[in-house]
Structure 1
């Protein structure tokens, strides 16, 4: 399984390495929401969460589906503009200005990425602003995550400009509260990494550069395809004449262990990669390892773990995402739960399951990085 980015005929100058302040804010917000994914910056996450004013913390909870369960494409909105010369801004304000240039339909579809399921990355993706069935699906999936998210989704669908302005103010308040200091601390390191990879591409070519970015990245002998080793199968192109040629590599300080690929249809692809990889501690007993590894031996359970690592899902959501029956999902969830790898909680009439990343992390950083990639 992998994500492939077709680059045949792409000029070398259209392979760009660039930091992205808005994407870095997104990874920082994800870290604050899911500190268990990022043990190397646990101290920063704890201190930052403790310093947030209650109003800002409440608003972040209201919109956390943008960065918690999935990493919303609006956090790299520059890639959705039909201008191949557009790259991430130098400041958060510049990135937000680029995001404001997206049409409402593009913005809403990207913001509600969790409603796409198996349609993501295909031309069949429909806008919930114009398609009644997709609107109903969006509201139903939002309701499974709680009444607050359903209300937010209703507001977004009913009045996109107002909610877009609300989201921009939220990001600007984050900058004032903590992100300006965070960005000033990491931006020079990110810029240095981007310069290093750009120079490596010039001197040694694409294959060596991809290897330096991540062992999960590779190219074929002709350099016409970039392959990203992930627990999903998808394809996109960096040479679509309708959107302009180009692929952007965005380094991130807070991204590890995630390696993300934006492969939305009609957008230029983006590879979002970490520049730091803190180590995870602790071996388990042989008996515990045996029980848990056996539970993870099935490829479908690994795919379920990939979804559950990103946030809570109901049985029906998992069945819809993977195109299988709910009873089959339930059987696999029972195996994972018996091994102590997932947790469950009731939200009204829904039961949500989530991977216990701390437990999985003790199995080894390689497995954790794979399911979170």
Structure 2
């Protein structure tokens, strides 16, 4: 499972890197809503939450479906600006149908929608019912908010802008001053890599979870996520937004009719080794079998030959070999030769990471 972005024939100059204050505010709001996802931000989250006025905290809770479990499209600008006010002005220029559909995209987008289809909850009854039903499942405050948005889009759009501006005044302006230079420097660095070394090298610098696949003239970016989607950047271009608040998330906007946007965590030492989700899947499947669990218990205590394992567990040597092959393919074993014997041992370091790798794959 991955997100595929078709970049066949896309000129290099249509790929842009730049910091976005609105996207960074959305990442910060997500961290406030889901602190368990962002342990390294514990200090900032605790300090910011403690300083929030109750009225502002209540308003953030009312609208947090736009950034809590997923990111509404309006919060990932395809054209990042210097200031938050400029990006909010860009949003004001969207018509109501496009704005509301994007704001609620995370809860009411129709599956398998085609770009030419209009699935706005303002015009499509099915999308409207789905938006209201899912909002109701998230609580009365969010249900009331979505009802107001569908009934009076201009009023709610103004309410959202005031909320963003109040967040800027309360805590984000100071935060943005501290991180803006780092994000701008990262964007410049990635732009230089793109210019001098090409898209494949730039993607590798963005995240180990992103690669460029080339098949003759066809080219596509593969974003290694536990999701499956396809979009194209051929006509619109592609935007990359660095974030200081985003790890471990790698956010890819791929809604029909929108320029693809990728928000990526700025480089850190912890991100140097990202385990592909396919590898995590192989490892989980490998340790799910009851016989292999028992073999792993023995292999975790020391190295063993195939014959030793067969004798200890009362199964045949060929059967042990088949199970060991599955564990080896998943990268969970170390193997060495001692004379005429081949010794197998569990790689406890890799197994210890399996839980955190699985969680990071889910959150990516």
Give TM class, smaller chain: 0.7 to 0.9
Q: Is the 8 A contact 1:121 1:236 kept in 2?
A: no
* Residues in 2 aligned to 1:36 and 1:296: alpha-carbon distance in whole angstroms: 26
Deviation of 1:232 (Å): 1.1
For structure 2, the residue ranges without an aligned partner over 5 or more in a row are 272-282, 290-351
* Residues in 1 aligned to 2:238 and 2:254: alpha-carbon distance in whole angstroms: 10
1:94 aligns with 2:89: no
Question: Per the alignment, do residues 278 and 64 of structure 1 end up closer, same or farther by CA in structure 2, a change over 3 Å counting?
Answer: farther
For structure 1, the residue ranges without an aligned partner over 5 or more in a row are 80-86, 281-291, 299-360
Question: 1:231 matched to which residue of 2?
Answer: 226
* Residues in 2 aligned to 1:37 and 1:148: alpha-carbon distance in whole angstroms: 24
Deviations 1:72-130 (A, max 9, x none): 11102x43xxxxxxx21111111111111111111111111232356266434611101
Question: 2:198 matched to which residue of 1?
Answer: 205
Deviation of 1:169 (Å): 0.2
Question: 1:273 matched to which residue of 2?
Answer: 264
Q: Is the 8 A contact 1:21 1:91 kept in 2?
A: yes
* Residues in 2 aligned to 1:141 and 1:209: alpha-carbon distance in whole angstroms: 38
* Residues in 2 aligned to 1:294 and 1:213: alpha-carbon distance in whole angstroms: 29
TM-score (norm 2): 0.75
1:129 corresponds, among 122, 125, 128, to: 122
RMSD of aligned alpha carbons: 2.3
1:107 aligns with 2:102: no
* Residues in 1 aligned to 2:37 and 2:285: alpha-carbon distance in whole angstroms: 23
* Residues in 2 aligned to 1:115 and 1:18: alpha-carbon distance in whole angstroms: 28
Q: How does 1:175-194 map to 2 (within 5 A)?
A: 175-194=168-187
1:116 corresponds, among 84, 108, 113, to: 108
Q: Secondary structure at the match of 1:220?
A: strand
* Residues in 1 aligned to 2:252 and 2:181: alpha-carbon distance in whole angstroms: 23
Q: Is the 8 A contact 1:206 1:223 kept in 2?
A: no
Q: Is the 8 A contact 2:183 2:243 kept in 1?
A: yes
Deviation of 1:11 (Å): 1.0
* Residues in 1 aligned to 2:114 and 2:286: alpha-carbon distance in whole angstroms: 32
TM-score (norm 1): 0.73
Between structure 1 and structure 2, the one with the greater Rg is 2
Q: Secondary structure at the match of 2:226?
A: coil
Q: Secondary structure at the match of 1:251?
A: strand
Question: 1:257 matched to which residue of 2?
Answer: 248
Deviation of 1:152 (Å): 0.4
Q: Secondary structure at the match of 1:272?
A: strand
* Residues in 2 aligned to 1:297 and 1:236: alpha-carbon distance in whole angstroms: 34
Q: Which moved more, 1:27-36 or 1:115-124?
A: 115-124
Q: Secondary structure at the match of 1:224?
A: strand
Deviations 1:267-307 (A, max 9, x none): 11001100155859xxxxxxxxxxx9579969xxxxxxxxx
Question: 1:165 matched to which residue of 2?
Answer: 158
* Residues in 1 aligned to 2:270 and 2:8: alpha-carbon distance in whole angstroms: 37
